[in-house]
Amino acid sequence: MATFTERMIGAARLDRAIFEEVEGDQGATSQAMLVVVGAAVAAGIGAARSGPTAIVWGVVATLAGWCIWAGLTYFIGAKVMPEPQTHADFGQLLRTIGFAATPGLLQVLGILPLVGGLVILVAWLWQLAAMVIAVQQALDYSSIGRAVAVCLIGWLAYVAAMFVITAMLGGAALLGGALAN
């Protein structure tokens, strides 16, 4: 069994065996959460957000997004688009997707002048590649194309859900502000 650091390095290397190991290790959920939190903090620092409050809210939003994303991916991949050999649960997707966030740690370098934006873009693309491998392994897909499709459909559903939630919260904030006056 690989150590936490070895798992992170393996996930960054897109090592399918590491994603398989993490998928089967129920104790790795807290490790996956640490990766997600680390990537969120790195993104907050890299984006040069002002103050620790923005980073804390970014971490909270990222953790919620991680759970929503894993749930959507589980539903789409295991219930709507399974292959005959697909056997997965929510926890397996939570763990593999969490470790797929490892390249996001590089976002801390987004603070660098001139190259910061490029580093963030590379980190996002790298995370996307890791996500596809994580989904393929967690859902036991024989085809990477199906994993790409699940990620794409899940992303569209996630964006739509976040838009609705943001609109509802924004509407509630506006209503609350109007009522306070």
Return the ∠ at Cα 62 (arms to 154 and 53), rounded to 5°: 155
Region 13-24 average pLDDT:
97
In eight-state DSSP terms, residue 81 is S
Going from the C-alpha of 119 to that of each of 18, 55, 73, 86, 178, the distances in angstroms are 24, 19, 27, 35, 42
Counting every residue written for the chain, the total comes to 181
85 pLDDT more than 90: yes
Render pLDDT for 31-51 as a digit per residue (tens, 0 to 9): 999 999 999 888 888 877 656
Residue 15: which domain range?
Answer: 4-180
Reported pTM: 0.87
Number of domains in the chain: 1
Counting beta carbons within 10 angstroms of the beta carbon of residue 157, is it exposed (0 to 12), middle (13 to 18) or buried (19 or more)? middle
Q: Which of 66, 61, 2 is nearest to 32 (CA)?
A: 66
